[in-house]
Amino acid sequence: MIDLHVHTRTSDGSLSAREVIGLAKENGITHMAITDHDTTKGLKDALDLGTEIGVKIIPGIEISAYDFTRKKKVHILGLNIEPEHPALTTLCTSLVQNRNQASFDTVKSLIAVGYDLSWEDVQKYAEGGTGVYKQHIMHALLDQGYCESIYCDLYKALFTQISLEYVDAGTAIQAVKEAGGIAVLAHPGLMNNFEGIDEWVDLGLRGIEVFHPSHNKDAIELSLKHARKHNLITTGGSDFHGFYGEIPVELGCRELGEECIRELNIIKEQKECCFCKRCTS
């Protein structure tokens, strides 16, 4: 089994890379992409852990982007990227800083209206990661007895109106390309991103996430339609976040076959070979 969309504690997952890879091994997963939000931190160690535990790790990322033409959020997956590549580091540094500042401001506002909370308390939930996410704040509130679940009415009240400064989707695709990776449109049905696909293919989009927990039959069929139209790789994944997932999911994408891995490897080999005589003659 394969899973090409998995998160760890490095961003907003609840499990460490070792825990996630160990769970993948238990679940019979042979290939797994770690795609933490806006960072490649920890990917080199994850590759080593994968070798140790017996799961092939595909280095990845999920970039928080925006479709400024249609005024919609867009998530771009990068698969087979070079970890810590400057193009991704430069792009994502401000994203991480802005998110952390927004989280700090949220905690400060909660303290101001009387919540028994501190920034240091919340940071403990994000230990080992790139910063504080919404889930970490809610976890702290949950443990303090202010709510009964992470994705409750309080979550909606706190975070519906908060907006971050995102990068343009085309810029995200370009950064993935520069890092040697394959740019994939994540869960287009979740954010209704289908209208932008023609434009993004011209900018270098190479794949579309067809199989995702949020995708119903119509979203899958529409995703496949665009994949056929543009000859895109069809990918899929659980979007696993562990305890921090909005809905309970298990690791693994049963709909995805080995041909996806072969296609990813073919593109990777073509990129690595792009300046040889056979490719340029």
Number of domains in the chain: 1
For the chain, what is the mean pLDDT? 93
Say which amino acid occupies 238.
S
In a domain, 117, yes or no: no
Domain span at residue 225 reads: 2-93+164-280
Residue 126 has pLDDT above 90, yes or no: yes
Residue 146 has pLDDT above 50, yes or no: yes
Contacts of 278 (CB under 8 A, 6+ apart): none
Reported as a pLDDT band with limits 50, 70 and 90, residue 277 is: very low
In a domain, 150, yes or no: no
pLDDT in tens, 164-173: 789 999 999 9
In a domain, 122, yes or no: no
CA 62 to chain centre: 3
* Strand bridging mode 56-67 / 72-79: antiparallel
In a domain, 158, yes or no: no
How confident is the model at residue 117, as a pLDDT? Answer: 94
In a domain, 38, yes or no: yes
Reported as a pLDDT band with limits 50, 70 and 90, residue 273 is: low
Tokens 């869960």 correspond to 187
pLDDT in tens, 221-238: 999 999 999 999 999 999
In a domain, 180, yes or no: yes
- Show the CA angle centred on residue 234, arms to residues 278 and 54, nearest 5°: 80
Residue 275 has pLDDT above 70, yes or no: no
**DSSP state letters, 256-277:** --HHHHHHHHHHHHHHHTTTSH
CATH code of the domain covering residue 59? 3.20.20.140
CA 130 to chain centre: 14
pLDDT in tens, 180-193: 999 999 999 999 99
In a domain, 267, yes or no: yes
Reported as a pLDDT band with limits 50, 70 and 90, residue 199 is: very high
Half-sphere exposure of 260 (CA within 13 A, CB side): 30
In a domain, 151, yes or no: no
Mean pLDDT of 90-112: 95
How confident is the model at residue 187, as a pLDDT? Answer: 98
